[in-house]
A and B are shown apart, each in its own frame.
Chain A
Amino acid sequence: MSRSEEISKLLKNLSTTTPDIEAAAVVDNDGLLIASALPGDIEEDRVAAMSAALLGMSERIVRELGRGNFSLVMIRGTEGFTILARCGSEAVLTVLATSSAKLGLIFLDVTRAAKDIGRLIG
């Protein structure tokens, strides 16, 4: 199985094992899509660029405000959550979760998946 296939499998497992996770994608630091399990109506390239941009900015804020090491970003909308976590030093995991999601479980699964993907990307 190729790395790309392994990452895609991890993304699928993420939404299968955690029903509150609706979709996920992995993008590199330059905003290029690596793998995705996003709904068909989402413009993947735009989401990829936005995810990398938001993560870059978030890391700067954490550093600027002396908040230690960056962990993840969570954005809450009326229809659900968007969570971004770093996968190693080269990529970002973006996850969409329902508004009723149990965040503790989501954070745990997202962090674990991000670590696994980071290892695969190297």
Chain B
Amino acid sequence: MQAHHDAFTMLKTFIGFGADDAENLKALAPLFASAGGAITDRFYERLAAEEEPSKLLEGQVDRLKATHARWMGELFAGEYEVPYFDNRWRIGLAHVRVGVKPHWVEAVMSFLRAEGLKAMADEIRDIDLLVARYASLVKILDLDLMIINLAYGEERLERLASFTGMSRKLLERCVNQAKR
């Protein structure tokens, strides 16, 4: 797990995610505390209209919405260190466990980028402030996506290793040897 924590730190540095971003995101917390519920509702309405995810939602919408709202709240909590990473990692594992395909995680990020900007533009009149805070939102969503997708990939490889009896190193070697 240390290698993944290091990758997270490296990526934060690479995209320039720092204290200013943490402050920007904390400042957005009240806005998303009020607008987040409607965003969550709209996202789940869209999901329910899609055949594949709608099956996973059956009888669980309220619980999943609460989880989604908690996830969104944590985006704006201002803490983005190892516990944050570990929490997002668990989300990735949970997605594999229930059989959610990775593109639905990307869908929620895309949805929040678009809906988040609308909500922010309604409230923040200073264009420079809007741009700065939106940039921080985009960064944290990308970091979340990186962590969740990484956990997703790792868990799938772990399952393959467990099923086939092949070590992780061997699986990686097979991937590298399987040149097209």
Q: Which residues of B contact A52 (CB under 8 A)?
A: 166-167, 170
Indicate if B70 sits at the interface (CB-CB under 8 A): no
Q: Which residues of A contact B167 (CB under 8 A)?
A: 29-30, 52, 56
Contact B174 A31 (CB under 8 A): yes
Q: Which residues of A contact B164 (CB under 8 A)?
A: 53, 56-57, 60
Indicate if B125 sits at the interface (CB-CB under 8 A): no
Contact B165 A60 (CB under 8 A): yes
Question: For chain B residues 123-180, which have a beta carbon within 8 Å of chain A?
Answer: 163-167, 169-170, 173-174, 177
A50 to B178, alpha carbons, bound, how many Å? Answer: 10
Q: Which of A31, A45, A60 contacts B170 (CB 8 A)?
A: A31
Instruction: Find the A residue at minimum CB distance from B164.
Output: A57
A49 to B178, alpha carbons, bound, how many Å? Answer: 10
Interface residues on chain B, number (Cβ under 8 Å): 10
Contact B170 A30 (CB under 8 A): yes
Interface bits A83-107 vs B (CB < 8 Å: 1, else 0): 0000000000000000000000000
Cβ distance A121 to chain B, nearest Cβ, rounded Å: 16
Contact B173 A49 (CB under 8 A): yes
Indicate if A59 sits at the interface (CB-CB under 8 A): yes
Contact B165 A49 (CB under 8 A): no
Contact A45 B177 (CB under 8 A): yes
Chain A binding surface, main DSSP class: helix
Indicate if A3 sits at the interface (CB-CB under 8 A): no
Q: Which residues of B contact A46 (CB under 8 A)?
A: 177
A45 to B174, alpha carbons, bound, how many Å? Answer: 10
Instruction: Find the A residue at minimum CB distance from B167.
Output: A30
Cβ distance B58 to chain A, nearest Cβ, rounded Å: 32
Q: Which residues of A contact B163 (CB under 8 A)?
A: 60
Question: For chain A residues 6-46, which have a beta carbon within 8 Å of chain B?
Answer: 29-32, 45-46
Instruction: Find the B residue at minimum CB distance from A70.
Output: B165
Chain B residues near A (Cβ < 8 Å): 163-167, 169-170, 173-174, 177
Chain A residues near B (Cβ < 8 Å): 29-32, 45-46, 49-50, 52-53, 56-57, 59-60
**Can you list 22 contacts pairing A with B, beta carbon distance less than 8 Å?**
A29-B167, A29-B170, A30-B167, A31-B169, A31-B173, A31-B174, A31-B177, A32-B173, A45-B177, A49-B170, A49-B173, A49-B174, A50-B177, A52-B166, A52-B167, A53-B166, A56-B165, A56-B166, A56-B167, A57-B165, A60-B164, A60-B165
